[in-house]
Amino acid sequence: MLSILDRYFLRELAYGVLATAIVLLVIFAGGAFATVLQKVANGSIQPSVMFEVLGLQMVDLLSTLLPMSAFLGTLIALGRMYRESEMHVLASSGMGPRGMLRPVTLLAVSATIVVGLVSLWLGPLSARTADQVIAAANKSVIAAGLDAGRFTELPGKGGIIFVDTLSRDGTVLGKTFLATDRTDSDGKPQVRVVNARNGRMYQESDGQNRFLALFDGWQFEIPLGADNWRRMKYERNDISLSNITDDDEDSDPAHEASTTELFKSLTPDNLGELVSRFAAPVSTLVLMMMVLPMSRQAPRDARYGRLLIAVLAYFLYVVWQLIARAQIIKGHLHTSAPIWLLHVIVFGVAAWYFWRQNAPRRVKGAH
C-alpha cells in the first residue's frame, strides 16, 4: 500500500510528465501536420483523410514522445522539489534514497508498459491503418470532395468534373461531364470537354496512377483563340487523373509489419526495426534511472542548468542508438549486442552515481 509520501511524489511526478507530454505533443503534431500537408499538396494524400492520417501518425509517434515526456517531466518535478528544499527537509526527517526511488520506480514501470504496448503493437498497427486509409482514398473520387449533382475541382489541377449519380465507394459514376485545361503538340492551350453515359475509377497495379474510364460519350478539343475544334465519339475513354506522388524515402515496409512478421524474416531492415521497437521500453527504464542523479541540485543552482545537461545526455544517448541501428540496417552490424550494451552501461553509470550521491560520508578528521 502506498504511503502518503509515495502518493505525494507520484502526484507531483505525474503532473510534471503530463505537462511535458502536452507541450511535446503540440510540437510533434506541428511537425507531423506539416509533413501531411506537404503530401496533400503533391497529391499523395487526399484532403478528406488528412486529419485521420495525422491522428494515426501521432499514435505512431507516441513511442518516441512518451519516453522523452517521462524523462523531462520527472526531471523538472524532482528539480523543483530540490530547489524549493523539499527534498532536504524530507531527508532531514529520515527519508532515505528508497523513499524517492519507490515512486519513481512505479512511474517508470507504468511508463515502460505503455511504451512497450505502443512500440510493439499499437504503433505498427496505426502505421498500417494509415497506409490503408490513404490507399482506399486514392481509389475513390469521393476523397477528392466529389458529390453527385455538384461541380467539383479534382486534386492536382485535374480539372472540373460533374456527375449526376455516384456509388457509395466513389468508384462508379453515372452521367459524367469533365473539363480540363491542356496544351497541344504545338504548346498552345486548349480545353478538353468530355461527357459520358457512365464511368468508373481505377488504379494501376502499382497504385501510383489513377484513371477515369468513361463509356459511350463525346470528347471535344477546343483550342483557345482558334476555331478548329475537334469532336470525337467513343465507346471507352480512359483519362489520367492527377498522379499519386509518393516519396520512396517515406516508405518503410518493416515499420508497418507486425512484430511477429519481423521475427519470421530477420533481414537487416527487420532486425533494425525490431531493435528499435524493443529499445523504446528499455530506454524508458534507463532514462528514468538517469533522472535520479541528474535531478539533484542545490537551492541556489541555476534553474535550467541541470535541464540543459540532461537534454544533452538524452540527445547523445538517442544518437548512439540511431547510429547503431543504421549500421544494422546497412548490414555492417549483424547483431544488436552494441545497443543492449549501451543500455546496460548507461543504466549502470546512472545507478552508481545515484548511490554515490546518497552514500554516507565520513566527516573529515574523524578516526
Max Cα–Cα distance, the chain, nearest Å: 112
DSSP bridge pairs for 233 = 218
Does residue 364 carry a pLDDT above 50? yes
Query: pLDDT: is 366 or 329 the higher one?
Result: 329
Place of cell 549486442: 337
Place of cell 494501376: 204
* Mean pLDDT, rounded, of the chain: 84
Alpha-carbon distance 154 to 147, whole Å?
Answer: 11
Confidence of residue 358 (pLDDT cuts 50, 70, 90): confident
152 neighbors 277 (Cβ within 8 angstroms)? no
Instruction: Mention every residue, 6+ apart, whose C-beta is less than 8 A from residue 157.
Output: 181, 242
Residue 24: predicted pLDDT:
94
Confidence of residue 218 (pLDDT cuts 50, 70, 90): very high
Query: Which tens digit of pLDDT belongs to each residue from 26-47?
Result: 999 999 999 888 887 766 777 7
Helices (H), the chain: 4-41, 50-83, 86-92, 97-117, 123-138, 253-256, 259-264, 268-294, 305-330, 337-358
Confidence of residue 186 (pLDDT cuts 50, 70, 90): confident
Helices (H), 172-267: 253-256, 259-264
Residue 206: predicted pLDDT:
60
Does residue 244 carry a pLDDT above 50? no
Looking at this protein, which amino acid is placed at residue 347? F
Range 207-234 average pLDDT:
85
Alpha-carbon distance 214 to 362, whole Å?
Answer: 90
273 neighbors 119 (Cβ within 8 angstroms)? no
Query: Which tens digit of pLDDT belongs to each residue from 90-126?
Result: 777 767 667 788 889 999 999 999 999 999 999 999 9
| Strand pairing class (176-183; 159-163) | antiparallel
Say what the alpha-carbon torsion angle 71, 26, 56, 127 is, to the nearest 10 degrees: -50
By residue count, the chain amounts to: 367
Looking at this protein, which amino acid is placed at residue 199? G
Query: pLDDT: is 302 or 22 the higher one?
Result: 22
Does residue 207 carry a pLDDT above 60? no
Does residue 303 carry a pLDDT above 80? no
101 neighbors 87 (Cβ within 8 angstroms)? no
Q: Which of 33-37, 68-72, 231-235, 237-241 has the lowest mean pLDDT?
A: 237-241
First to last CA, the chain: 42
Query: Which tens digit of pLDDT belongs to each residue from 254-294?
Result: 888 889 999 988 898 999 999 999 999 999 999 999 999 98
This prediction has a pTM of 0.74
Residue 251: predicted pLDDT:
62
CA 347-348-351 angle, to 5 degrees, is 85
Looking at this protein, which amino acid is placed at residue 157? K
Alpha-carbon distance 335 to 107, whole Å?
Answer: 31
Confidence of residue 144 (pLDDT cuts 50, 70, 90): low
